[in-house]
Chains A and B, each alone.
Chain A
Amino acid sequence: EVQLVESGGGLVKPGGSLRLSCAASGFMFNNYQIDWVRQAPGKGLEWLSSISRNSGFVYYADSVKGRFTISRDNARDSAFLQMNSLRADDTAVYFCVRCSGFGWFDSWGQGTLVTVSS
């Protein structure tokens, strides 16, 4: 069974940092692109970032470019999202997703909540 499990969310002050982790199982992790998507409370989905299978290519939404960094460790079947300079509008549930094609997110984690507040 394909599983993605996020961790690392929590309460952080504005300007602070947080590192999210995504542990994958049930599939050949190094064969898939991994993306991060977030959802603010009561709001819609927002694509944030993607990383290619061998980490050679990374892409970001304008809203997080320069503040967030995506990475992966294929030896540990894990992906990460380093979030710096956090703002109140970064408050959201963050999902790790497996990407099988353009916009084709076929497996989702349960999400981890990040709250940015003083």
Chain B
Amino acid sequence: QSALTQPRSVSGSPGQSVTVSCTGTTSDIGKFNYVSWYQQHPGKAPKLMIYDVSQRPSGVPDRFSGSKSGNTASLTISGLQAEDEADYYCCSYAGSYIEVFGGGTKVTVL
């Protein structure tokens, strides 16, 4: 049950695109198409942004998109906006009804 690996921080200017990576193993991300992404503003509860690798819940802007290749999943934020500045966490199903989160990435809007 090792945590997934995310970069500690990424940054971009308003209007730009940023991508947050999430690297796992052949036992989690590489094996299952059950990757989700969460946005967390300071002092708030996390919010589901992407599930099942690339599906967006109702109400999440379409500038948030998810993908996966091999053992690495990615969250891309296109047309970066000030309100996107937050911590982002990936999560993957790891089999045997166990879930594993990434360490989190701080997205900064310059």
Can you name the residue of chain A whose Cβ is closest to the Cβ of B3? A44
The answer for the CA separation of A57 and B96 in the assembled complex, in Å, is 11
Judged by a CB distance under 8 angstroms, whether A108 is at the interface is: yes
Interface-side segment among B33-41, B61-69, B77-85: B33-41
Q: Separation in Å of the A78 CB from the closest CB of chain B?
A: 18
Q: With A44-B104, A61-B1, A104-B52 given, is the CB distance from A50 to B89 under 8 Å? A: no
Residues of A in contact (CB 8 Å), total 24
Can you name the residue of chain B whose Cβ is closest to the Cβ of A108? B45
Contacts of A100 in B (CB 8 A): 51
B45-61 CB contacts (< 8 Å) to partner A:
45-48, 51-52, 57
Total A-B Cβ pairs within 8 A: 67
Q: Mark B67-109, 1 if CB is under 8 A from A, else 0.
A: 0000000000000000000000101110011111111100000
Binding site for A on B (CB under 8 A): 1, 3, 32, 34-36, 38, 45-48, 51-52, 57, 89, 91-93, 96-104
A61, A63, A108: the one within 8 Å of B46 (CB): A108
Q: Mark A91-104, 1 if CB is under 8 A from B, else 0.
A: 00001000011111
B101 with A45: CB separation less than 8 A: yes
The answer for the CA separation of A115 and B96 in the assembled complex, in Å, is 30
Q: Separation in Å of the B90 CB from the closest CB of chain A?
A: 9
Judged by a CB distance under 8 angstroms, whether A62 is at the interface is: yes
Q: With A44-B102, A45-B104, A103-B36 given, is the CB distance from A109 to B3 under 8 Å? A: no
B96 with A47: CB separation less than 8 A: no
Contacts of B99 in A (CB 8 A): 35, 47, 50, 102-103
Judged by a CB distance under 8 angstroms, whether A27 is at the interface is: no
Contacts of A104 in B (CB 8 A): 34, 36, 48, 51-52
B3, B46, B93: the one within 8 Å of A102 (CB): B93
